[in-house]
Amino acid sequence: MLSGALALALSAQAQIAVTNVTYGTLVNNADIVQGGLTFREQYAPVNTVTTSLGDYRFDGPVASNIFVRRNAGGTGPNNTTVFYQTSGSTSTAPLGQYASSVQNMFLSNNLYEGLRNPFANGAGAQNSNIERLDFYYAGGYTVQANDSLVFFDLENTGNFGDGFRIAAFTAVDGAGDLDVGTAGTPTTYANSGLLVAADSFGGPINSPTGGTTGNFERATYTNGDNLGGTASSVTNIGSGLNLVGILIRFADLGIAAGTTIQGFSLMAGDTAPTSAADLVNWNNVAYYPTNTSATATGNMDFMGFGATISRPVPEPSTYGAIFIGLSTLFFGWRRYRVSPWLRRQAQSAGRRR
């Protein structure tokens, strides 16, 4: 069970705002028509993000699977509402790439699109009725020092991110098997997780289109996490929306370097565990409420990002230290190799004298 002191410590951390994004070269493929929408198939890879701790890159391991967990006895529909960035306030053509599922959207690392209120419960298009998202790393992953996760939220101007809970899990059903019905299901969490407070993200950051604000539309799909069908509704939700970001270190999740985890889970801000064991069953309404509000604790809008573990970019001083260290080793090796020859020369000169 997580002690009160440790729970408070976890809640107090992770306030590491993302202040800038550096994108790679824009990829612009041929349009794809799917579900009544014309996808422009653009992708601007995120190379690095800037935080108060320095820059972070994205070359760590990528989640093998992302599982959508819904309450089997819930009364709401199995919706998935997605928002797409568009080129204008009346456009219905998403700029980003088509993703056939929630998993593929998160694996895309594409900031043109994301999930609208995934944890909100209800019958409307603002609610996706998801209780938990599990990011699973097949075979497990041993956390390295400074390993982190980065998430982005779509926000109205003047807001700085919505709240959510995140926790790492250390064991899965069937030792990580992928049988139907038990696919990477967490059985043990490291602790009760970290509650990320609302408005703890950074300020507006540049979107893939270059500006800090953009035009977006909302599309609702009614077949669970399958986004392959025709959206039941497509609505332009206007301009003036910002991207904000946050970086969470595994150390903030209570995970020390050298610890092997199987993945991590994202949940609504009103998920209320009193122990790590409370997180296992997402069908338990005592800890996973089925009335999560779309305007309060269920209003976190996750961009299609976060499946790749991030690591700090070495500072120039670090490169200098590495260079000096290698130089010292080289000259030491060179001295070792040359010294016998010098000794022989010296001995020969001594005999000649």
Do 257 and 325 fall within a single domain?
A: no
pLDDT digits (tens, 9 = 90+) for 80-137: 999 999 988 788 899 999 999 999 999 999 999 999 999 999 888 778 999 999 999 9
Residue 335: predicted pLDDT: 46
Residue 182 has pLDDT above 50, yes or no: yes
Give yes or no: residues 339 and 190 share one domain: no
281 in the same domain as 186:
yes
CA angle 202, 119, 70 (to 5 degrees): 145
Arithmetic mean of pLDDT over the chain: 85
User: Which residue range(s) make up the domain with 353?
Assistant: 317-353
CA–CA distance, 160 with 345 (Å, rounded to integer): 73
**Residue 219 scores a pLDDT above 80:** yes
In this prediction, residue 158 has a pLDDT band, given cuts at 50, 70 and 90, of confident
Q: Is 337 found in the same domain as 196?
A: no
Residues 326 and 241 in one domain: no
- pLDDT band for 211, please (50, 70, 90 cuts): confident
Residues 209 and 352 occupy one common structural domain: no
Confidence band for 285, pLDDT divided at 50, 70 and 90 = very high
pLDDT greater than 80 at residue 230: yes
75-84, 127-136, 311-320 — most confident range: 127-136
Residue range 194-200: average pLDDT?
92
| Residues 13 and 128 occupy one common structural domain | yes
Mean pLDDT score, 220-244: 88
Q: In this structure, are 115 and 165 located in the same domain?
A: yes
State residue 173's pLDDT score.
86
Whether residue 301 sits in one domain with residue 349: no
pLDDT band at 341 (very low <50, low <70, confident <90, very high): very low
Same domain assignment for residues 204 and 133: yes
Give me the pLDDT at residue 72, please: 84
Question: What's the pTM?
Answer: 0.85
Number of domains composing the chain:
2
Task: Note whether 304 and 325 are same-domain residues.
Answer: no
One domain, residues 275 and 290: yes
Pick from 97, 95, 101: nearest CA to 115 = 101
- Write out pLDDT tens, residues 23-66: 999 999 999 999 889 999 999 999 999 999 999 999 999 999 99
Which residue did the predictor score with more confidence, 230 or 39?
A: 39
Average the pLDDT over 156-170 and give the result: 91
